[in-house]
Amino acid sequence: QCTEPQKLFNIANELLHTEEAYVKRLHLLDQVFCTKLSEAGISSEVITGIFSNISSIYCFHGQFLLPELKTRITQEWSVNPRIGDILQKLAPFLKMYGEYVKNFDRAMDIVNTCMQRSSPFKDVVQNIQKQEVCGNLTLQHHMLEPVQRIPRYELLLKDYLKKLPEESPDRKDAEKSLELISTAANHSNAAIRKMEKMHKLLEVYERLGGEEDIVNPANELIKEGHIQKLSAKNGTAQDRYLFLFNSMVLYCVPKLRLIGQKFSVREKMDIAGLQVQEIAKQNVAHTFSITGKKRSLELQARTEEEKREWIQVIQATIEKHKQNSETFRAFNSSFSQEEEHLPDSSIASTSSVESMPGADGGGGALGGSDSSRKPSKSKRDKEKQACKSCSESFNSITKRRHHCKQCGAVICAKCSEFKPLADNSRHNRVCKECFLHFPASPGVEAVGEQKKRLAAEKQSILAAENSLFSSYLQFLEKGKTWYKMWVTIPKTEPLVLYLQGSSQDGRSPRPIPLPGYEVSLPGSGEKFEVKHVFKLCQSHQTLYFSAEDEELQLKWMEILTKAAKGETEDTAEGLGNP
């Protein structure tokens, strides 16, 4: 039987040991996978698309959180037995995890695509995966570690708080830490569920020898298992295997192998149009049939219960597929009807009409003849393939098509906003132009006021009087165009730099957690037209800033250097906003 203080120490010790293992995984991702792929000539866009801000996460845990936990638990625990105060420091850096988790689905898609299409990428990844440090796990498994880490902090903190006395000086800090970490854990858990689904598909893909391209976010494995197939010629039973997905059934033949069961796909049957029913055969028990568009199969289960389970789950999958298809058709039909009644000028901007071959700006779209409407129809069909605002092509998974409820334009999710319109109080998806130029419906002032209040609160945090240091700076990240930004380090988040563009652009301030960045002057080969330039560098990311004068440049470099080292104490001493 452990005493309560001993139980608390055991939890703290477990936190330390898991943190040490976690930092090793981050090192593997950032310093091994990321570095080796870069050395192999893989483009920085692909590497950033896969690893996102893993360098920032690695630097924070390796250089700040782990050393603090180690010192507290191995050296100071006898005089200062607490971890809540240290974990509360994690809170500002949950923003880093938000960015990583948000990018996670896209990162998985890029890895899968590169493994199939890029030999240099595949060679590097497979060579690393063979090393002992990888523990026989894939790159995708290791990429899941940061997503899983936040929920683990949450579980350990909950256990810690259960055993922490009410009067403990660490209770307030520990409760605050749990509140902040739990919010972030919800986002991570959703990403974990998606990843687990993808891993199941990857496992099936490997068992099928790569014969069927089933690794798709839209696919879901419902059920799998051995089954007997009754021969149409003589009624003998043959060993077969079924994989039931939300959109298809794969009817497979087991391959003879010494290690690991593999299968060859004999028949692929779409769920659409599939029928399943119980059949009665003389001298043969537990039989049922599945009939598709091209083939019918008579199958035998091992028990009556197993037969009923197969029939029920296949029937449920068919019904769900029908419902989804009907909903999708109704959804498309409603939009088609809306488009039929919309004037042509409301579907496309003038500039897109002028850019079309043969468009002369005349009144063809307003003419009554069929021939005058043909260019408009072809134009409309063309525009349905790409977003009106960003011109990126649509697809069914990562770039879905939406319509502006105000003007009817075809847009993507990224180029839209939500606002109440005059005909209803719901929040409707509209393009950014309509969001800015058309007023919201009367009677929803409360919503507008709430948005204004939240915006005002954010602006208040970034205001000069609430910051450790702030000023206007010119900012450059990619390309050659410098942008004027309001740059600030809030008192409430002394290790986070915020960039705010003009108030008209409607964007939220961009947070940049500073630990792990290097602050320096441009190199001899970096030439700029503006003066007093300094830069923030980390892994594959470089951010450039230009100050009005040398004094402001040096002041910013001094402050950012301290914050990048995780120094918060006395940071505010002697600082004054220009």
Lowest mean pLDDT among 68-77, 203-212, 344-353, 468-477: 344-353
Beta strands in 256-393 (DSSP E): 262-270, 275-278, 287-291, 296-300
pLDDT at 556 over 60: yes
pLDDT for 259 equals 60
pLDDT for 445 equals 41
Q: Give the pLDDT band of residue 15 (cuts 50, 70, 90).
A: very high
Lowest mean pLDDT among 65-74, 92-101, 238-247: 92-101
Q: Give the pLDDT band of residue 467 (cuts 50, 70, 90).
A: confident
Lowest mean pLDDT among 121-125, 184-188, 498-502, 566-570: 566-570
Give how many domains the chain has, as a whole number.
Answer: 4
pLDDT at 552 over 90: yes
* Position 572 in a domain: no
* Position 442 in a domain: no
Contact predicate 34/539, CB 8 Å: yes
How far apart CA 274 and CA 321 sit, in angstroms, is: 10
361: CB partners within 8 A, 6+ apart: 350, 353, 354
Q: Give the pLDDT band of residue 279 (cuts 50, 70, 90).
A: confident
pLDDT for 104 equals 85
Lowest mean pLDDT among 3-12, 166-175, 224-233, 245-254: 224-233
Is the whole model's pTM more than 0.75, yes or no? no
| Same domain flag for 153 and 227 | no
pLDDT at 517 over 80: yes
| Same domain flag for 195 and 247 | no
* Position 342 in a domain: no
Q: What is the CATH number of the domain that holds 393?
A: 3.30.40.10
pLDDT for 357 equals 36
| Same domain flag for 38 and 154 | yes
* Position 448 in a domain: no
pLDDT for 507 equals 64
pLDDT at 9 over 90: yes
Residue 326 host element (H or E): helix 304-341
Q: Give the pLDDT band of residue 21 (cuts 50, 70, 90).
A: very high
Q: Give the pLDDT band of residue 524 (cuts 50, 70, 90).
A: confident
Domain that holds residue 478: 466-565
Q: What is the pLDDT of residues 219-273, one digit of tens each?
A: 888 999 999 988 877 778 889 999 999 889 999 998 876 566 688 888 899 998 8
| Mean pLDDT (the chain, rounded) | 78
pLDDT for 256 equals 72
| Same domain flag for 305 and 428 | no
| Same domain flag for 172 and 125 | yes
Residue among 563, 553, 574 at smallest CA distance from 494: 563
Give 353 or 226, the one with higher predicted confidence.
Answer: 226
How far apart CA 469 and CA 415 sit, in angstroms, is: 33
Q: What is the CATH number of the domain that holds 287?
A: 2.30.29.30
| Same domain flag for 169 and 124 | yes
| Same domain flag for 198 and 272 | no
Per-residue pLDDT averaged across 270-288, rounded? 87
Give 563 or 337, the one with higher predicted confidence.
Answer: 563
* Position 335 in a domain: no
How far apart CA 300 and CA 269 sit, in angstroms, is: 18
| Same domain flag for 33 and 109 | yes
Q: What is the pLDDT of residues 108-123, one digit of tens each?
A: 889 988 998 899 999 9
Lowest mean pLDDT among 57-66, 84-93, 386-395: 386-395
**Which of 175, 208, 241 is the endpoint of a domain?**
208
What letter does residue 574 receive in the DSSP assignment? T
Give 118 or 91, the one with higher predicted confidence.
Answer: 118
pLDDT at 505 over 60: no
* Position 83 in a domain: yes
**Which of 308, 325, 342 is the endpoint of a domain?**
325
214: CB partners within 8 A, 6+ apart: 201, 204, 205, 208, 245, 250
Q: Give the pLDDT band of residue 188 (cuts 50, 70, 90).
A: low
**Which of 208, 230, 246 is the endpoint of a domain?**
208
How far apart CA 249 and CA 228 sit, in angstroms, is: 15
| Same domain flag for 198 and 135 | yes
pLDDT for 189 equals 66
* Position 355 in a domain: no
Determine how many CB atoms are found less than 10 A away from the CB of residue 239.
10
| Same domain flag for 411 and 501 | no
- Strand pairing report for 424-431 and 416-421: antiparallel
| Same domain flag for 204 and 273 | no
How far apart CA 44 and CA 105 sit, in angstroms, is: 18
* Position 337 in a domain: no
Per-residue pLDDT averaged across 28-46, rounded? 91
How far apart CA 168 and CA 82 sit, in angstroms, is: 9
Q: Give the pLDDT band of residue 459 (cuts 50, 70, 90).
A: low
Residue 47 host element (H or E): helix 44-51
| Same domain flag for 557 and 471 | yes
